[in-house]
Amino acid sequence: VNWKKYQPVPAPRIHTVTIEKVGIYGEGIARTLTGETVFVPFAHVGEVCEVQETRRRRHFIETRKLRTLVEGRDRVEPVCPLFTRCGGCQLQHMDYGAQVEQKRQVLQVFVRKKLGLEMTVQADPCPRPYGYRRRVRLRQFGGKVGYFRSRTHEFLDVRSCPIAVSEINAWLQDSRNFPRPREDVDLSIDVQADGQIKTYEGSDQRQMGFQQANAWGEARLRELICEDLHGAHKGILELYAGSGALVLPWFKPEEQGFRYLGVDGDEVNVRRGRELYGSESVSFERGMLPGWLTLKLAEQPQALDAYDVLVLDPPRGGTNLRPKTVKALATLQRIIYISCDPLSWTRDAKLLLEHTHLRLRRLHMIDMFPQTRHFEIYSLFR
């Protein structure tokens, strides 16, 4: 008999740890007695807790909290009964001021350590830390509407969502009173600027177009862009422009003798942008980036001369620009780079600093997504 085969499975290891900081994914970070780093979801700075190992990685250990022995600083009671089970929020157990400072610190550390800059990150807290989300993605399952459980594809019946705007919560309530068809489908609910609710089911979701999730955050981005466009005189090139919602509702290029070109990969956004703002000075092109820009510069090396400002707001993965293309951006006077991901923003910021004469002049952490680990970055390179 090969007894080695019948070794008992070792019991999962348990540690008592004190949370030292909160990381980029909203998880508490601590050390074991032997100095190994452990990640503890939903744990807060100063908290002493007993945790059980769930997975050993090369440089850290993932755990789950078994019990809290001593409460941490700035702890508050989560508003949502589904908190920790639903995948949407990671920080409801933290006082809102502490959430903002934690996110500001995440960006500050990236700027100092990865970019080697001493610049202070400005924080813009959201005036409504609950009831702000005007777009949600849900799942209809067995006639009920809900979200997925955290890290799984398990359905979670949702009666209300405290981070969503009241219109969405009213819709969630109504959907219980009037049972929906039993067919399972993904659906998105969108509250438009006039307060009207629009729902998109299944493949219809492709017709939604882009809208920033938080109306306050969108307005704050517009304010900052407005300040930083001051003094520009030729034109604005906006990449990943959506339908131009950050610039064109308040800026009329024709009145200033400007030109504006918005590029986006989604036909719905491009069509909407053209319908809402198209004019002799304002145009939209459908193009997949970064290919569109690389091709444009290959065909027309002076293509960027018509613009003095570039506005960029890529999705989470960043721009994937190559150094050669980044060098071509050096003819621009300013680049306003908006991002929802500190990792890809840092990667792109590094490229801009290395390959152009532009310098980072302004940096804001805009808390577009309170109660979650996510935030928006506003940066100006000049």
What's the N-to-C CA distance of the chain in angstroms? Answer: 73
Nearer to ligand SAM, 156 or 241 (CB): 241
Both tokens of residue 345? 């923003």
297 to 326, contacts with ligand SAM by CB under 6 A? 313, 315
Nearest Cα to Cα of residue 140 among 96, 184, 87, 108: 184
Contact call for residue 269 and ligand SAM (CB under 6 A): yes
Alpha-carbon span 241 to 263, nearest angstrom: 6
- CB-based contact 63:38 (threshold 8 Å): yes
Contact call for residue 39 and ligand SAM (CB under 6 A): no
Segment interacting with ligand SAM, rule: CB under 6 A, options 43-51, 144-152, 173-181, 235-243: 235-243
Nearer to ligand SAM, 47 or 266 (CB): 266
Which residue in 60, 130, 148, 210 binds ligand SAM (CB under 6 A)?
210
- CB-based contact 162:109 (threshold 8 Å): no
Nearest Cα to Cα of residue 327 among 299, 360, 300, 294: 294
- Written as one string, the DSSP assignment of 30-69 is EE-TTS-EEEETT--TT-EEEEEEEEE-SS-EEEEEEEEE
Contact call for residue 242 and ligand SAM (CB under 6 A): yes
Q: In the bound complex, what is the minimum distance in angstroms from residue 81's beta carbon to ligand SAM?
A: 31
Nearer to ligand SAM, 94 or 107 (CB): 107
- CB-based contact 363:107 (threshold 8 Å): yes
Segment interacting with ligand SAM, rule: CB under 6 A, options 63-71, 119-127, 241-249, 370-378: 241-249
Contact call for residue 289 and ligand SAM (CB under 6 A): yes
Which residue in 86, 161, 229, 245 binds ligand SAM (CB under 6 A)?
245
Nearer to ligand SAM, 75 or 347 (CB): 347
Nearest Cα to Cα of residue 187 among 165, 170, 206: 206
Which residue in 23, 78, 249, 265 binds ligand SAM (CB under 6 A)?
265
Find the Cα–Cα–Cα–Cα dihedral 338, 343, 348, 350, rounded to 10°.
Answer: 120
Nearer to ligand SAM, 245 or 365 (CB): 245
Which residue in 63, 90, 102, 212 binds ligand SAM (CB under 6 A)?
212
Binding residues with ligand SAM: total (CB under 6 A) = 15
Both tokens of residue 211? 């809208």
Helix (H, G, I), strand (E, B) or coil at 310: strand
Contact call for residue 260 and ligand SAM (CB under 6 A): no
Alpha-carbon span 329 to 379, nearest angstrom: 16
Contact call for residue 249 and ligand SAM (CB under 6 A): no
CA distances, 304 to each of 232, 282, 309 (Å): 14, 16, 9
Nearer to ligand SAM, 163 or 241 (CB): 241
Q: Which residues bind to ligand SAM, rule: CB under 6 A?
A: 210, 212, 240-242, 245-246, 264-266, 269, 288-289, 313, 315
